[in-house]
């Protein structure tokens, strides 16, 4: 279903004493080299600061959840000044949007790398399982991608990639014989897989049952029930 700097060196200034060498007739003095310029402790040259920031943000997200992610802690983990992240991101929201965008791209790649499945129903079931698997592998990132922490309309790149993933689901449903544009059917399919993923993450699958059921079995059953319903509608 669907729907990771340069230095600013301080300038050395100072007055140069003018020496009258005529007052030293017996020897010449060597000029002393100025001390080499070094970046202040707050500056740090990083080969790929943007990616390092994303990695640190994802690490913090996994460690403590979305509410704990902050720019100062991200900068500390990367080893740069508190101001350095703002060279790439206007604020934390922009960084989180970029992180969510990377998550959608990974999910899109997982769909793209599914084995070639000619039979549409088998592909649909595989997509549902892949979505649940992604949520299990990247739980905090998945919550960021599909939670209410970000408004996708304020981040065009994030909106674009999330819509591309949704379009992938629509195409699969069209192959099943659903009439275009298959928006409602795609939303229903997403809700089905999303529900299984959420139940699994929240450990609710056995909350009211005496029968243990794993997420893989449940998503496969749910997908088959969904497909049976589609066949009855056609």
Query: Residues 122-168: pLDDT tens digits?
Result: 999 999 999 999 999 999 999 999 999 999 999 999 999 999 999 99
pLDDT at 169 over 80: yes
40-71 burial string, b = 16+ CB within 10 Å, else e? eeebbeeeebeebbbbbbbebbeeeebeebeb
CA distances to 51, 191, 194 from 186, in Å: 33, 9, 12
**pTM more than 0.85:** no
Cβ atoms 36, 173 nearer than 8 A: no
Q: Could you report the per-residue pLDDT of 95-121, keeping only the tens digit for each? A: 999 999 999 999 999 999 998 888 999
pLDDT at 19 over 80: no
Question: What pLDDT band is residue 213 in, cutting at 50, 70 and 90?
Answer: confident
Alpha-carbon gap, residue 69 to 141, rounded angstroms:
12
Angle at 125 between CA 113 and CA 131, to 5 degrees: 60
CA distances to 16, 30, 99, 139, 198 from 201, in Å: 68, 72, 20, 7, 5
């Amino acid at each position: 279903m669907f729907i990771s700097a340069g230095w600013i060196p301080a300038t050395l200034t100072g007055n140069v004493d003018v020496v009258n060498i005529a007052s030293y007739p017996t020897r010449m003095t060597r000029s002393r080299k100025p001390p080499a310029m070094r970046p202040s402790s707050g500056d740090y040259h990083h080969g790929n600061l943007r990616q390092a920031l994303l990695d640190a943000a994802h690490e913090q997200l996994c460690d403590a959840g979305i509410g704990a992610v902050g720019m100062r802690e991200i900068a500390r983990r990367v080893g740069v000044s508190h101001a350095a992240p703002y060279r790439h991101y206007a604020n934390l929201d922009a960084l989180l949007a970029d992180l969510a965008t990377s998550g959608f791209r990974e999910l899109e790649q997982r769909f793209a790398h599914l084995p070639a499945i000619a039979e549409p129903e088998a592909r649909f079931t595989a997509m549902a399982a892949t979505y649940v698997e992604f949520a299990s592998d990247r739980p905090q990132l998945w919550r960021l991608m599909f939670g209410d922490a970000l408004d996708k309309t304020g981040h065009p790149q994030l909106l674009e990639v999330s819509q591309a993933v949704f379009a992938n689901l629509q195409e699969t449903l069209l192959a099943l014989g659903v009439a275009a544009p298959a928006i409602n059917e795609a939303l229903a399919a997403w809700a089905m897989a999303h529900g299984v993923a959420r139940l699994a993450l929240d450990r609710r699958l056995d909350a009211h049952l005496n029968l243990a059921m794993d997420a893989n079995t449940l998503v496969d059953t749910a997908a088959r029930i969904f497909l049976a319903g589609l066949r009855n509608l056609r």
